[in-house]
């Protein structure tokens, strides 16, 4: 008999499984009141425009007001956008998100006079004021960074315009989000026995991990085919976004969108180049993995939809609460306080929006702002893979939590370059704990599958997307053709190189992979997954070896925010990302997992 797996509507999700929205604003009316307060605060701050040079006291007033209005705006935006992404089909959430985006643009424009006026005051005077006005003392790094970027800061008038265009410049990425999450409808995946599974952005990962090959094939192909059906629209969204980014880079005087993305956090372009070069050098490692996977699955030809297939038929049902217990046990080397805060966040304070519902945005992420909980959105499916995802996102959330508890608002974020370290670090610790404590060889195989899946995403998919991204940005910048077919061909060529002779190349469908990753709407973000996982494993191994000094330094690193440049923070931990050694070490970890997986496959699956 045919059965169907369906996804609930948002209204049917129990409150205890949803993110703690009321901890930000108790009611919609409270959110509206805060929107109005942002407008009033902005008007008050505007009275200081043109006056910052009058003295240290007035500058301190302006910066305090800037921090206050910025933080309130961040909370307004968080609440609105989280409401929207939890159900993109909800008109109220969509309206709130649009209103918050417009208000955010007004705030950017309204604050735009501050940096040009500080530059006009001059560094010697500002340094003197930092010494004499206590409320300015913690701004030393911010002032240093402002003058480092002085050549790219425009006049107050131009900065005001650049602030005002932020809202319309979100249109490409917003349109992409709306279209892919609420307008695109996917055919159900059907198994060989007639079982049918609904395919949405929230369930596609479960479809790809299903044991039934026919269900995986039909789900993966149907999902890709919907993207193919709208390839021209999706290409227009993406190239429009790149043109917007190129406009911003050229107005400010950057040589390229890559330079703009990396100059701001003070990351040399050589770090990007080293990563890509090291990745290409190790492509044979991936070819070896495809061979092991094909033999383990005992198929003649490996297809892309086999990449996530379980290698064993044993099913380990891991309820959410069990996942929390295992994660906390794995994180024990970081100390009791870190574990206690993590457990309370996952179970009591409702940091996690746990399960899929119709209209919920695909994927998992952690997001919040100072003064809120660090919220996690995911689609937990009682699997080892989702346990790992929860550990990953918890790493982001704890990084945010510790930064917010320690830093003033001006440093209360952390660089994107550092973002993927804490997340992958958590996964490494939890995985190590489970591998050491499990005597079940089939569970060990699944743990190594999870490790390889994680490396596949961050050490294969993300560098491949990064190479694609670089090429498309170059095409748009030079005025070359960048049609959907052009983008698909670039994507296909890179996957052919990565898959080698071990994978069937379904060119039209793998060519659309670029359209399935919203990460590309954050310029040159994706390569930093690979640098992050490399640094994470280097640090995790030292802490697992009992290096207490590294553990303590790592916890301080998590509290640092943007109070120092990212490469300097890593140097303090003995991590030099300007050289290739750390990424090389990451591939050594990957190869070690491959060795162990191959041994287990030979002994327990092919014997």
DSSP 192: T
Name the residue among 564, 536, 519 with its Cα closest to residue 261.
519
> Residue 220 belongs to what H/E stretch?
helix 213-229
In three-state secondary structure terms, 376 is strand
Lookup result for tokens 């992404």: 85
Structure-token pair, residue 498? 């990565």
Per DSSP, the residues of 461-513 read: IHHHHHHHHHHHHHHHHHT----HHHHHHHHHHHHHHHHTTSB---HHHHTTG
Catalytic residue selected from 393, 420, 449, 598: 393
Question: Pick from 83, 82, 73, 78: which is nearest to 104 by CA?
Answer: 73
* Nearest-10 Cα torsion for 220, 226, 231, 232: 180
Cα separation, 368 vs 374, whole angstroms: 5
Strand pairing class (4-5; 196-197): parallel
Residue 430, SS3 per DSSP: helix
Angle between the 231-252 and 171-178 helix axes, to the nearest 10 degrees? 160
In 105-198, the DSSP E strands lie at 189-190, 196-197
Active site residue 393: yes
565: DSSP letter: -
Terminal-residue alpha carbon distance, the chain: 35
Sheet holding 365-367, edge to edge: 352-353, 375-377, 365-367
Q: At which residue do the structure tokens 């970027």 appear?
A: 149
Q: What is the rounded distance in angstroms from the CA atom of residue 168 to the CA atom of residue 172?
A: 8
Burial profile 236-272: b = 16 or more Cβ within 10 angstroms, e = fewer: bbbbbbbebbbebbeebebebbbebbbbbbbbeeebb
Give the DSSP per-residue string, 315-336: -----HHHHHHHHHHHTGGG-H
Using an 8 Å Cβ cutoff, are 578 and 274 in contact? yes
- What are the φ/ψ torsions at residue 503 (nearest 5 degrees)? -130, 140
Element (H, E) at 375: strand 375-377
418, 421, 423, 427 alpha-carbon torsion, rounded to 10°: 170
Look at the block and give the residue holding tokens 């553990």. Answer: 551
- Residues identified as active-site: 393
């Amino acid at each position: 008999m045919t059965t169907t797996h369906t996804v609930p509507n948002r209204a049917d999700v129990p409150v205890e499984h949803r993110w703690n929205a009321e901890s930000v604003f108790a009611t919609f009316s409270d959110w509206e009141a805060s929107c109005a307060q942002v407008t009033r605060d902005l008007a008050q701050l505007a009275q200081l425009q043109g006056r910052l040079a009058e003295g240290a006291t007035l500058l301190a007033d302006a910066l305090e007001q800037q921090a206050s209005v910025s933080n309130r705006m961040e909370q307004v935006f968080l609440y609105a956008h989280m409401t929207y992404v939890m159900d993109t089909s909800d008109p109220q959430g969509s309206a709130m998100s649009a209103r918050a985006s417009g208000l955010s643009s007004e705030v950017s424009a309204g604050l735009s006079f501050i940096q040009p006026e500080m530059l006009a005051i001059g560094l010697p005077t500002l340094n003197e004021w930092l010494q004499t006005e206590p409320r300015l003392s913690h701004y030393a790094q911010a002032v240093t960074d402002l003058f480092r970027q002085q050549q790219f800061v425009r006049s107050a008038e131009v900065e005001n315009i650049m602030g005002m265009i932020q809202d319309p410049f979100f249109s490409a990425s917003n349109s992409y989000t709306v279209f892919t999450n609420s307008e695109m409808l996917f055919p159900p995946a059907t198994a060989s026995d007639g079982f049918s599974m609904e395919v949405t952005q929230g369930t596609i990962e479960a479809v790809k991990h299903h044991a039934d090959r026919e269900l995986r094939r039909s789900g993966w192909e149907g999902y890709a085919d919907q993207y193919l059906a709208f390839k021209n629209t999706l290409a227009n969204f993406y190239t429009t976004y790149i043109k917007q980014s190129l406009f911003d880079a050229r107005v400010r005087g950057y040589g390229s969108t890559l330079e703009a993305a990396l100059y701001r956090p003070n990351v040399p372009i050589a770090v990007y180049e080293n990563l890509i070069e090291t990745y290409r050098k190790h492509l044979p490692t991936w070819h070896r993995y495809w061979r092991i996977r094909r033999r383990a699955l005992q198929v003649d030809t490996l297809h892309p939809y086999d990449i996530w297939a379980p290698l064993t038929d044993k099913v380990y049902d891991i309820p959410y609460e069990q996942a929390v217990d295992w994660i906390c046990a794995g994180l024990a080397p970081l100390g009791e306080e870190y574990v206690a805060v993590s457990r309370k966040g996952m179970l009591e304070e409702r940091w996690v929006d746990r399960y899929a519902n119709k209209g919920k945005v695909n994927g998992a992420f952690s997001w919040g702002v100072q003064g809120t909980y660090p919220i996690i959105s995911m689609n937990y499916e009682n699997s080892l893979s989702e346990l790992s995802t929860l550990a990953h996102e918890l790493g982001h959330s704890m990084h945010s939590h510790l930064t917010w508890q320690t830093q003033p608002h001006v440093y209360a974020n952390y660089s994107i370059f550092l973002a993927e370290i804490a997340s992958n670090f958590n996964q490494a610790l939890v995985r190590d704990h489970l591998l050491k404590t499990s005597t079940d060889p089939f569970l060990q195989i699944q743990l190594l599958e999870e490790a390889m899946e994680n490396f596949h995403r961050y050490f294969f998919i993300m560098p491949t997307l990064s190479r694609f991204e670089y090429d498309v940005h170059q095409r748009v910048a030079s005025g070359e053709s960048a049609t959907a077919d052009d983008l698909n061909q670039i994507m296909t060529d890179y996957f052919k190189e990565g898959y080698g002779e071990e994978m069937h190349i379904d060119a039209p469908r793998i060519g659309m992979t670029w359209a399935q990753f919203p990460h590309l709407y954050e310029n040159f973000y994706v390569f930093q997954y690979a640098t992050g996982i490399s640094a994470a494993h280097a640090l995790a191994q030292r802490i697992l070896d009992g290096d207490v000094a590294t553990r303590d330094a790592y916890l301080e690193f998590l509290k640092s925010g943007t109070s120092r440049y990212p490469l300097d923070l890593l140097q303090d931990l003995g991590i030099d990302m300007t050289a290739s050694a750390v990424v090389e070490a990451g591939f050594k970890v990957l190869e070690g997992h491959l060795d162990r997986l191959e041994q287990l496959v030979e002994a327990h699956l092919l014997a």
